[in-house]
Structure 1
């Protein structure tokens, strides 16, 4: 997108800055917030270092939301282009949504640009775990020391769960009180409407066999291998299907595991789904098998549409989202036997879960999150 297409200079209220679209929950959070801000009369813009033309999330950018690519492939180019963008377009606020070094560049770029700009750094990952691999030396000797010095220079630091906030404060050695906790903007009228749409899959349209569903990138963090092993135990006892929506680097390994366990007819991994909510709403059970999560958006989405949830009690989001197990079942991380037992229990009950009626989901609504973010990003206008 060219500068001419971005509107007149100075009419950018909030920039969402990230490395690139990541094909995950963070992208959906950005899109939900951008759409909500736009509905409130603000002008948001999504700014990325690198374009990913193959990302399915490119097509999900809400209509009317500007998308700008810096085309910055090295640190010097990133800094020069980011400073130039800030000086030329002079946004009122910038919200960094990518973990790691982009946050640090943003702090320095604002100083070099020399413009009045509210800067927010957000943490969507669990820092002590997510940044420990695959290059722990980079985090230990470069990122954490630099972040310890630079993060406090932002106007605000936000984590998407209290557990993530505490972990970030610990690894960066900064005051936990300096980090705000704002849960992700997940629940909305649009989500409920999307959950009621039809799905084109024979397991939902031509069968009454219960379907267990999981949603997420096929990456080690999600530990779908553990889920598949647990599902094999369940399948040995009763007729059931497993649908995993998402794509990633572990696809080949997971497909091999499915074949090895003789589950070819009972496990499907169709890839990315633009509207996973429709599948989740029609499933008998949603399982989150992750080793770590910052919040676990899909757990909240399942609660909102009335689908029972089983989730690992991993650091740190699922327990917060499920109120310590009040609104779903928590199991130990990596315990496939316990997961199989709980899956059989929930499937035997065959009763849909009712969305919490005590206002619990209110803190996860798009409107509530937007209010909290705007208090920090545009305090004069909030």
Structure 2
């Protein structure tokens, strides 16, 4: 069968990387040849051995800028502010030269990329390669949130990238968003035609995970409490960064303990805010109740033993952890942030959506879900809308295969 290339940030770590690996694994299981192009090596234990991982070398900033101009001299005006002159050159575009050479040498029938600057890199590379390759680009998070974040307000390239996105994204064969909210925001922010953006759910649940933890919990007759305690176990999974607002979850958990007397909170992940969050836990005297595990290679093993998954983010695209939690029989409490939680939870029918960022509101939602858990069968059924099989079929359909 023909070859498909997938451009990704890496083969392990965040949600974008994991979804790229799940897509690659499903494609090879269906007989496709797959090259996974990555700028870093990473832990490839979850990658199917049949997937060919290619480590991409980067070009210097000067060479990369030259190749961007070479690819699109007609887009000089759109390239100038977000690409050519910024001191902090977008790292993703330093791979344009290599990607173009790859396209010429390996001649894949399709090329799939994710995240804004990697999407731009793929489309610029195709211009240089001048090959008949179908390009599918995908946005995985709220573009407005990324551009307007405090961090990116000081980066010239993000403030002016939308005009470039509008022009060059139209050269792709398919534009995919991971949720309707992400699609709407992309169209609103850039001027792209919403009708030309297709929503495809992330390939969250691979075939190997179809047998899930909710069955085990139901079999034990303990749909809410594990086998060793008589109090709920909450879990948070994600990078410990500002946008995830883990501080709100910790404060809400403290209020929950004051109301109920007992509980446990496990925080899986690492990041720049970890020390500050650990200090908060000490100040609230929650050291015996809150556990920081750091980065966890297999967070699903923790989900299988947990009761409630918390998500207190300010923005998301389509938070995979909520789907995984539902698949493994965890109840969900999430802030109603743009854009994914409300879509996954069917506007609050399958979990608690909190309108606001006050710890008291989140704490009350935690208490409500403990007292009135949702039928695990409904949660599992919803999670099956996010299988790798279903998502891969839609990706192939978008490419015309």
TM over 0.5: yes
Residue 281 (structure 2) pairs with residue 258 (structure 1): yes
* Matched position secondary structure for 2:121: helix
Q: Distance in 2 between matches of 1:249 and 1:80?
A: 32
Equivalent position SS for 1:323:
coil
Runs of at least 5 residues in structure 2 that lack an aligned partner in the other structure: 65-93, 217-224
Q: 1:313 to 1:352 in 2, by over 3 A?
A: closer
Partner deviation per Cα, 1:207-233 (whole Å, 9 max, x = no partner): 444211111111112111100011111
**Cα distance change, pair 94–135 in 1 and its aligned pair in 2 (3 A):** same
In structure 2, distance between residues paired with 1:208 and 1:190: 31
Q: CA deviation at 1:24?
A: 1.2
Structure 2: distance between partners of 1:271 and 1:88: 41
Matches within 5 A, 1:210-249: 210-237=232-259, 238-249=261-272
User: Following superposition, which runs of at least 4 residues in structure 1 exceed 3 angstroms of deviation?
Assistant: 19-22, 139-142, 192-198, 203-209, 357-362
CA distance in 2, matches of 1:81, 1:138: 25
Match of 2:300 among 254, 261, 277: 277
Paired with 2:305 and 2:280, the residues of 1 have a C-alpha distance of 26
> CA 1:160/1:74 → structure 2, altered by over 3 Å: closer, same or farther?
farther
Matched, 1:103 2:119: yes
TM-score under structure 2 length normalisation: 0.83
Cα contact 2:203–2:389 (8 A) shared by 1: yes
- The question of 1:315 aligning with 2:338 is answered yes
CA deviation vs aligned residue, 1:292-313 (integer Å, no higher than 9, x gap): 1111111111222221111111
The residue number in structure 2 matching 1:78 is: 95
| Corresponding residue to 2:5 among 15, 28, 41 | 15
SS in 1 for 2:276: helix
> Quick check: 220-229 or 204-213, which moved more?
204-213
Q: Secondary structure at the match of 1:302?
A: helix
Could you tell me which of 182, 185, 188 is aligned with 2:200?
A: 182
2-side partners of 1:163 and 1:328: how far apart?
A: 18
User: Cα gap change, 1:196/1:303 in structure 2, threshold over 3 Å: closer, same or farther?
Assistant: closer
Q: 1:29 aligns with which of 19, 24, 29?
A: 19
Residues 73 and 262 of structure 1, relative CA distance in 2, 3 Å threshold: farther
For 1:335 and 1:74, how far apart are their aligned partners in 2? 46
Q: Give 1:187 shift.
A: 2.8
Match of 1:62 in 2: 48
Q: Aligned partners of 2:179, 2:124: CA distance in 1, in Å? A: 26
1:42 has 2:32 as partner: yes
- The answer to whether the 8 Å contact 1:305/1:355 transfers is no
* C-alpha contact (below 8 Å) 2:12/2:44 kept by paired residues: no
Give the deviation of 1:73 after TM superposition.
4.9
Distance verdict in 2 for CA 1:232–1:141, change over 3 Å: closer
- Aligned-pair distance for 1:12? 6.1
Of residues 14-23 and 151-160 in structure 1, the stretch that sits farther from structure 2 once superposed is 14-23
Q: Is the 8 A contact 1:195 1:278 kept in 2?
A: no
Task: Output the CA distance in 2 between the equivalents of 1:22 and 1:138.
Answer: 29
Partner of 1:4: none
CA shift, 1:160, in A, is 0.1
Q: Alignment RMSD, CA only?
A: 2.4
* Equivalent position SS for 1:217: coil
Instruction: Give the 3 Å change call, closer, same or farther, for CA 143–74 of structure 1 in structure 2.
Output: farther
Hey, what does 2:167 align to over in structure 1? 149
1:236-282, Cα deviation, whole Å (9 max, x unpaired): 23210100111222111111111111111110110222222232132
Q: 1:300 aligned to 2:323? A: yes
> How far apart, CA to CA, are the structure 2 residues paired with 1:26 and 1:226?
25
Provide, for residues 21-56 of structure 1, a one-character-per-residue CA deviation record: whole Å limited to 9, x for no partner.
Answer: 5721111211111111111100111102x21x5x4x
Instruction: Give yes or no for the alignment of 1:356 onto 2:378.
Output: yes
Residues 326 and 380 in structure 2, CA contact (< 8 A), matched pair in contact too: no
Change (3 A) 1:274 1:12: farther
Deviations 1:36-81 (A, max 9, x none): 1111100111102x21x5x4x4433232211111121545152221
